[in-house]
Every structure is written in structure tokens, then in C-alpha cells.
Chains A and B, each alone.
Chain A
Amino acid sequence: MSSIDDGEKFALGTEGEQRPWQDAYRALVQSFEAGSGRRYVGHSVPRNDVLYKVRGKAKYAANIALPDMLHGRFVRSTYPYARIKRVDVSKASALPGVRCVLTAADIPDDRLKVGSLVKDTPILAKDLVRHVGEPVVAIAADTLEIAHAAAALVEIDYEPITPVLTPEEALKEDAPRLHPNGNLIANLSNAVGDVDAALARADVVLEDTYTNEPIEHSYLEPQGGISFIDPDGVLTLLVCTQYPHFHHKQLADVTGLPLEKIRVIQTVIGGAFGGKIDVTIECASCLMTLKTRRPVKMLLENEEVFSATTKRHTMKIRHRLGAMKDGRIVALDMDILADGGAYSSYSLIVAGRCVVHAALPYDIANVRARIRTTFTNNMTAGAMRSFGIVKLAFATESQINKLADELGMSPIEVRRINAVETGTKTVTGQILHAVGFKKTLDAIEPIYEERKKALAAGPKKPGVLRGLGLASLGYGIGYSGVRNPSTARIELTEDGIVIANCGTPDIGPGSDTALAQIVGEEAGVNIGRIRVVSGDSTKTDDSGPTSASRTTYFSGNAAMLAGRDFRRQFSDLLAKKLDVTPENIRIDNDQVIVNNKPMRFEDACATLGSDVKQIMAYGVFNPDSELDFVTFKGNPYPTYTYATQLAEIEVDIDTGKIEVPRFWAAHDAGRIVNPMGAEGQIEGGVVMGLGMALWEKICRSDGYIQNPGMRDYLLPGAKDAPTEITTIFIDNEDETGPFGAKGVAEASLIPVPAAVAAALHDAAGIRLNAMPMEAETVVKKLAARKGNKP
């Protein structure tokens, strides 16, 4: 079905079809000169997906067409909360070209509901709709135009119910129960020490409330996929997702098919950021394929992405910080009320992560953290880069910056006094290792001091105020408090292609390349002969989703172990074949050295012939992550990443517009596997953080999203990005990571809003506790401040 000429992602093509791209990549990396020491790890090796992407040959779901394919479309709720009185699809079904009209009545009750953590989300709404945009009917037709026309013919009678639109309303005694078990999705808390006593004796107590607006992930590629039945009768789904294995299992539940009759393959993906981890088109598309026995393609429109896929949680964080005059923070108390929207999605994970991260990256003796997340009739809130921690950091880091001002101390010094270190015991009782947090402060300090002087001395622009602000973070890598192993399996072909099957798909950052670097380094083979298969649920083991900054650390470790196993199995096999002892065989630099005589790797493979099939190298990484979600004791994450970031801003006093000409990001991400890729993550994350800090918000009114599209949603563009983003990776190595690596993807964004808020205070003397920090608010605050002046 797929042809390499069309540039399918590797996972989609056959061996032969993939060969031209593999050869082209090998030619590309042949000329790549690594420095001394390690051959691949630590070097900016070109990405293994770069050739077909820059040549415009990558096939996204939207680009894939199959013979006889139908086009699917949802009919969605037009009310935030309503009873469905009647669904009449007779006119839609009668329209020529309509092949399938699916409603909840077509799906058995015990298969109707799906979900990542809690199965509470109907594939198609039955009896009730709980948010605007909830799918009620799915249609498959010969053309998209017919599907649209049929959608317009569907008649749904609703009986509107007054919606619940804020967590405060949802918590009221007499609030309507949005779900059978009530309106609370999460109610988690943890306390260590005696917070009240510590606050009572603190020299300084700072109290404030911090808020944010819902955010759209704004991946450029809307959700989409194609389902079909392959010649072997396997229900196959090509879909842009962060987690093919989740859909594989989910589809078994939904269709009743045995697992071996299902296959989920990730297409080339145009961004995800946590937004492609829940169910959107997958179940409806596959059910319509099973009904019609024809391929069905479903693509969301941009407006559907904005109005009917998960958003970042809004949180109201009440925060109290107590400290002594010497800068020691003695107490932290935070109470969070979060809007989880219509269905549970990843709300529980977000809540758990918030409680665990309450004090990080600081060592605070008395900590109390509580989060309550409620259902509402807003769009469901779900996973998004940082799982809530960007909002925590906005609150805590802003409080710490306030504390520094209050005490007349440097914001760096206050952080240094309270910083976690190797050996620090966290609020969950975990003893931290490989902590490079202070080094990130050390890296930023001279820049901060230098820029402070430069701004004070530098030429003033009329009408422009300039300022500096910084913020830090500590972030756990991987899922919170549960085991989430990754595996890797390595196979070999007779002509020397090393196939690394890793279970976490590349969602854009280049993780397939990082994994190939690790395999190449450990196995001793040229990276050009490695093909990473990471997005096929039948070729890989379930290794969890690509999320939570976990791929480099978890799958990287698995890949490293598999690479080691590969080297051993290969040597053993060749030894047997050549009748030498395995100790006399080495693989190094893509050569096989047998009794001190070098042999080309492909010649060694040819010598082995069909015996190469006996090689089945395996690596599994399953660190001991456990957390009791009642006592909040345990080791929730195997490692943590740290950072300190510095923003330099310019505030236009007339227009309130904030520009960020310079930004510095110092990160402890352990040993960096691919500096170019890691820098890309940081630069992208910084701009994403600036978007949240300054512009982005989903505007809502009565449960309806008012700016559902890129036209009205203010995503920063290239001209809004800082002119200079300087990335600094501090020297640190985590012995538990692959070649010392940790992870970096989410950390890049977390400190940004707090750093900008601090810079705004430095520049203009105003503090904003609500994101985004909009120009109009800045102008009003500046005017108020002027008015207050004696």
C-alpha cells in the first residue's frame, strides 16, 4: 500500500521500499565527522527523518489516500450541556454517497466509553452532551463534501441544561452532578512538617493568587487518520498519535477484535505537545471501517481542533510562602483549584504531578499542597507540555522573586540558599541524585549581573522600559509514581541493516535519531545502517507514550541495553560461525575485528547469512517508580531535570507591548545526546512559554470557544520570538541515564512565564499574577501606578 517514493515514514514501508531513504541517510551521515571520544552520543548528528521531511516527501495523515476510501466527519454538540432528546439520521443516511452513519445507538453500552485513565468519554454522546463540540454522530461518505452535506441533514433535538462553567460552581452543594460520581476528578493533598507553625514564625509571609487561561497546543497538523482492513484481515489504523499502543488496546475493547487483529501505526506527525494522546477520530473511524469494510479517513478541521480537543488546564493557585530574613524559605502552602472540563482525560496525572512538584526545585521543610480538579462543561482539559507544572512555576517562582525583592537579595542567591542538591530528601521522601540545579544558577549569574549593568548603563530608548527576570524549575522525568517501562528490540538483516524497534514514537523532536545514536554508540555500528521503528504497535512492545520528557531517558536506556545485547549476540553468533572464541571478536566503529583482523560489518553479516535472523537483542528499562497517592510517599520519578532561565524584556510604555529581545536558558538535562536537537527543544519551548506568558488564551463565553482558529488565537510567530535565545547545557551526568542523559522536552517551557513576569516587574514596577500578561493590562497597571505616585 505504501511506496517509499512517496516518502512514507519508515514504519509504513516494506524493507525494499525503505531502502532508498536509508541509503540516502547513510550517505548524509557518512560525511558527518564526529569529534573525538564518543562517536554519536553528544554530537549533533543529522536527524534520520530530515531527508524526506525537507524534501517535502513526508506523508502526514492528510496526504495518505487509499483506493475506495471513504471520508468521515463528526456531527458535534452545539450546546455545552444538554439532554439529547432525539437523533434522526434518516435524511443523512438517505443522501446518495453516504455509506455509514454511526450513532451511540450503534455501539454496545459496555464499549461506548473510552479514555486514557478513566473510561468516561463516550465515542459518540448518548443521552447527554457535556461540552460544545462533543461528537454525537459520525458519518462516512464517498467524498468529504457529501459527508459535510450529510452532517447538515442530521437532526438532533436537545433539551439544554444550565451549564457548569467554573470549578467554583462545580463544587457548590447544589451543583448539578456532571458525572455519576460527582464533580471532583481529583482531590489530592500532601503535607510535610508544620506549615501553619512555620508561617507563624516566618519573618516574611507572601500571599497571592495566580491564574491562567486555557491554552491550545497549536500543533500545526490537526488530528487525522485512516483506518482500513489489510489483506490479512487486520484492522489497521494510520494515525498521528503519541501512543499507538494505547489505541491498539482501546480498539480491542471497542471493537471486540482480538489484539492480533489490530494494528496501529503512527504517521509522520506535525506536532503533539500532549494534544495527541487522547481519543479523537480513532474509534469512530475504525468502527465505520468495520461497518463498511472500506478505508475511512477522518481529519479534524482546525476549528474542531480548537473547539473540541483537550486544552491546558486553567488553575487558580492560592500561594503562601514563608521565609526568614536570611532568605531561607521555611514554608510553602498552595491550594489549587483546576478546571478539568467535561471528561477526565489526564486531569488525575496533572493533579498528582502538581502535588509532587509543590516545592521543587527547593528544599523546604514545611510544605502543604492541595489540588482539586473538577468537571465542568468547558472543553476537556488534558495533557499539555509540563502537565500543569508551568502554572505552579509561575506561582512559586513569582513568589520567590517577590521574596528576593522583599529581602533585598539577589534572586539567584535566594534560590541558591534553598536549592535542592544531590542527597536532598523531597516531600515524598525521595533522595535526589545527580542534581545540577545550582550549576544552572551559577551559569546564569554572570550573565544576569552583566546584563543588569548593561541595562543600567546602556542607552535608554525613549518610551521603553527594560528589565531582567529569572525563574527556575525542577521536573520529574516519566510518569508520576507508576512503573512505565520502555523496551527495545534489535534485529539484523543479511545486508547489514540494524532495525531497532522502540516503543515510543517520535512526535517531532527527533527522538528516533537520539535512539539511533544510542544504539549506534552501544552496538558499535554506523548510525546510517540503523533504522528505528518506533510507531508501529505490532513491531514494538508497549513502552508507554512519548510524553513526560521520558523518551530519551526511558527508551534511551532500553535502546542502550538492547545495543549491548546486540553486540554480545552478534559476537557469539559470528564466533560460532567462524569457529573462534567470542572474546576475540569486537565490533568497533562499524568494523568487526576478528582475531585483530578488521572486517567490514556488512561482510560479517554476509558471512552470517540467514543466521542473522537468530539475533533478537532486547533491552528493557523499568526503574522502580512508586508513589502512594494517599500518603504521597515514595520515589515518583527515577530522575529530575533542572533549569534556570533569564528573560530580558522591553516594555513599550504607551502600548504596553512587551518584546523579549534576549533569553538565556541554562539546563541540567544530564549528558546531552544530540545538542542540536536539545537546543531545538529549548528554543521551541521558550517561544511556547512566551506565547503562554504574553498572548495565548482560549476565549470562552457560556461554554463556547470564541476564537477557534489560528486567525484569532494569538500564537507567537517568528517575529515575536527573541532575537537571541542562548542555550547553556551545564556539565552533569546522571549515571542512571543512557550515557548520562536525562530529558529536556518540557523543562524548556516551565520557567518562562515567571521569568517574564519578573522582568516586567524589574522594568516597570508592576506585578501581574494572571497569564497572559496582555498589553492592555500592562498599560492600565502602569497608569494606576503613576496615579498612585505621591
Chain B
Amino acid sequence: MSEPQFVRARSVDHAIDTLKAAGGDGLIVAGGVVVSSLFNQRLASPAVLVDISRIKGLRYIKRTPNGLSIGALATHDDIHRSADVKAVAPLLTEIAEDVSCPRLRNRGTLGGSICTIGGQGDPATGLIALGATMQIKGPGGERTAHIEDFYKDAFEVDLAPDEIVERIDVPAPQTGARFAFCKLGPRNAMDFTQITVSVVMAPTGSGIRIGMNGVANAPNRPRATEALIATMNAGSINWTAVGKTLNGEISPQGDLVYSEDFKRHLALIGLRRAVERALARSKEAGGRA
């Protein structure tokens, strides 16, 4: 019942120090989207709540020689509106446009979304498909992690209790790369039970990177499926074969909305649609990524 101590971090280092002092009993709040929900459901009772939302220099989107650099506090709406994102990695623009609802897009941050271990993870699929890396800082200094390696299991990410994600680096895809995002769920907005798929395909042929969410305990990259598709002719992908491989790489759990079988069915539909959209996009004028 005791209320957590509230610390408004002045800097990343201050936040890290505070988290370290909390000895594993600290919780970071940025946009508050997830944390407020956890509190309302009485699922979180940290000793210290570390507010990083006012830390200067964490909310930005920059073009870099390699692509994009996005500060952890950039909101979904920032990403959606960013001309740089649209120019370098429009897949992220497309994903941001459909995250939850406008109110949450205004509050929710990219860093928060990535670090949240729950059903939501649309941006993570895009970042996996794009091969993004994360810059993480902790008491021992900075390190870099590939986002696809960040997710370990349900409720388990590769982040120590006193570490903070500072930024996400998104390499620019090859000129002419094709991309698409597909989201399947019972309703058209605000759903947790959803299958999301992002794909980035090489400018020609069927080389592909896939990020998926909702089909395992955490966002994942089905590498064997990628490898199989890469061996096929982009115009005549054998989806039955792809489905078999994909099935071995995903482990969805049935819930109140969809059975496990139906999630497997939808995972393949989502992947097929994303690939078809990506391939169709190459024909569009200006279709680029």
C-alpha cells in the first residue's frame, strides 16, 4: 500500500544512480502509458518510480550517415510526423500511424514500447525487420544490443534493473528495398490480441527480414522462414511450405479471443499479406525504403 518514492531524473546518469540505489525495486516511467495501467491494475508496487520524461536530450529523431537515430523518449506521434523517418524508414511511419489511439500515441514513447513486455509491440516488429540496434546505458557504461536479441522470453528482456535504453539506431535499408506492415486482430484499434508482422525485402529477389509479434512470448524474428523465402522466387512463393517452417518457429498461446491454432493460421496470413504488399509496393512510383 505504501506509495513509491517519486524521483524525477535530471539526467540519464541520475536515473541510473537512482535505479541502482533502488536495488532492483525501481520502475522507469516515461510516457506513463504502461506504468499507469500497471498501477491501475495494482500489478506494480515499486519502491521507487523514476520519471525519465523530463531528461533533456532523449527526445529526438536524427538522420545519421547510417540511417536514423531515434531518442528513447520520441513518441509514436513524433515518429509518425517525422519527415526524416518517412524518408529513411517509412515502415516505421506506417507502424506509428496505427499504434493504439491518438492519445496514447501522444504519450507513448518508442523506448517505452520496446521495453514493455506485454502484448503490445508493433514498433518492435518494424525495428527487427529493419535490423535496428539499441544503445543501452548502465552503471558500467554503454553497450549496444540488437533488438532481435533483446527479447528473451515472456516478461524477460535483456535489460538490467539499473539500465536505460537511450536510443535506437535504425540502419537505412538499401535503396529500393521493399517493406510492409500487417496487423491482424478482431477489432481495428486498441487491441492487445493481435498478430503483427513487419517485413523488409531486398530491392530485388526474395531476400527478407521478418519481425513478428503476438505469435510467441515476445517479439521474434523467424530466421528459418526468412531463409526459406529467400530461396524462393518472389513471384511464386510456396506458402504451404513457408507455413510449415513458420509453424516451427512460433509458439503462440491460445487466449480468450483466438485459439492457438487460429493464431498460427493468422501468423501465416499476416506474413503472406505483408510480403505481398511489400512486393506490390516495388511497383508503386516512389515506393522506396
Contact = CB atoms under 8 A, between A and B. Distances in A.
Indicate, yes or no, whether A interacts with B: yes
A779 B192 contact: no
A695 B188 contact: no
A695 B190 CA distance: 14
Interface stretch (A44-52, A73-81, A522-530, A707-715): A707-715
A249 interface: no
B256 A720 contact: no
A774 B255 CA distance: 14
Nearest to B190: A717
A657 interface: yes
Interface residues of B, number: 20
Interface in A628-657: 654-655, 657
A711 B101 CA distance: 13
Interface of B: 1, 3, 37, 101, 184, 186-192, 256-259, 262, 265-266, 269
Say which size band chain A's interface belongs to.
20 to 34
Nearest to B265: A779
Contacts of B259: 776
B219 to A, nearest CB: 19
Given A699-B256, A716-B187, A719-B187, A711 B192 contact: yes
A717 B184 contact: no
Given A717-B187, A717-B190, A776 B258 contact: yes
A105 interface: no
A720 B192 contact: no
Nearest to B259: A776
Nearest to B262: A776
Contacts of A695: 186-187
Interface in A688-728: 695, 699, 706-707, 711-712, 714, 716-720
A774 B1 contact: no
A583 interface: no
A719 B189 contact: yes
A148 interface: yes
Interface in A137-161: 145, 148-149, 152
A719 B186 CA distance: 12
A145 B45 CA distance: 13
A657 B269 CA distance: 12
A720 B188 contact: yes
Given A695-B186, A695-B187, A775-B186, A655 B269 contact: yes
Nearest to B257: A714
Contact of A717 (B189, B262, B266): B189
A598 B93 CA distance: 66
B247 to A, nearest CB: 16
A151 to B, nearest CB: 10
A654 B243 CA distance: 14
Contacts of B184: 655, 657
B189 A712 contact: no
Contacts of B3: 145
Given A657-B184, A776-B258, 10 more contacts: A145-B1, A145-B3, A152-B1, A655-B184, A657-B186, A699-B256, A711-B37, A717-B188, A718-B189, A720-B187
Ordered nearest first, which 8 A-B pairs have the shortest CB separation? A719-B188, A149-B1, A719-B189, A776-B262, A654-B269, A699-B256, A717-B189, A720-B187
Contacts of A779: 262, 265
A385 B288 CA distance: 51
A719 B259 CA distance: 24
Contact of A714 (B1, B186, B269): B186
19 contacts: A145-B1, A149-B1, A655-B184, A655-B269, A657-B184, A695-B187, A699-B256, A706-B256, A711-B37, A712-B256, A714-B257, A717-B101, A717-B187, A717-B188, A719-B187, A719-B189, A720-B187, A774-B186, A776-B258
Nearest to A710: B190
B256 A707 contact: yes
Contacts of A717: 101, 187-190
Contacts of A716: 187
A675 to B, nearest CB: 29
Nearest to B258: A776
Contacts of B186: 657, 695, 714, 774-775
A148 to B, nearest CB: 7
A716 B186 CA distance: 9
A779 B268 CA distance: 14
Contacts of A714: 186-187, 191, 257
A199 B191 CA distance: 47
A706 B255 CA distance: 10
B35 to A, nearest CB: 15
Contacts of B262: 775-776, 779
Nearest to B187: A720
Contacts of B188: 717, 719-720
B93 to A, nearest CB: 19
Interface in A183-198: none
A65 B38 CA distance: 26
Contacts of B265: 779
A774 B185 CA distance: 11
Contacts of A712: 192, 256
A665 B191 CA distance: 28
A296 B203 CA distance: 67
A706 B256 CA distance: 8
Interface in A748-790: 774-776, 779
Contacts of A657: 184, 186
Nearest to A146: B1
Nearest to B3: A145
Nearest to B269: A654
B26 to A, nearest CB: 21
Given A706-B256, A711-B192, A776-B259, A655 B266 contact: yes
A148 B266 CA distance: 42
A714 B259 CA distance: 16
Contacts of B189: 717-720
Nearest to B37: A711
A654 B270 CA distance: 10
A718 B1 CA distance: 37
A655 B270 CA distance: 9
Contacts of A719: 187-189
Nearest to A706: B256
A145, A717, A720, A776 — most chain B CB neighbours (10 Å): A776
Contacts of A711: 37, 192
A141 to B, nearest CB: 11
A348 B107 CA distance: 48
Contacts of B266: 655
Contacts of B269: 654-655
A657 to B, nearest CB: 7
Nearest to A783: B265
A711 B194 CA distance: 13
B14 to A, nearest CB: 28
A706 B101 CA distance: 25
